[in-house]
Amino acid sequence: MVEALSDVYSNIKVLAFDNPANIAGVDSVCFLFTGDSDSTGQNNTICQIIMFFSIDGVNCEQHIAFTYNTSENTSLEASLAEILPSISLG
């Protein structure tokens, strides 16, 4: 499970992972997103999450990318409470 810890900038989130997978921990996370500026009631947002971690001394990274329709006059930031708990490293 992933949860937002703080809002440092409007387009960067700090994430914490609580997961029983065989990963000692996630060293750092980059979370970026951008909207498509569509004003016709469909605001499609592109989101990319990059996790950096080590397994048995080997440096690894995991990319998660997806699009999300946040509807009119909303943003991905407003939907993080729904999206982040659904992400798992398992």
Q: What is the DSSP string of 30-59?
A: EEEEEE----SS--EEEEEEEEEEEETTEE
Closest CA to 79 of 61, 63, 62, 67: 67
pLDDT in tens, the chain (90 residues): 444 444 433 343 445 555 434 444 555 666 666 666 655 666 666 777 777 777 777 777 777 777 766 666 665 555 665 666 566 555
Closest CA to 72 of 32, 37, 48: 37
11 lies in which domain range?
Answer: 2-86
Query: Does the global pTM surpass 0.75?
Result: no
Q: How many domains does the chain have?
A: 1
**Other Cβ atoms closer than 10 A to 38:** 11
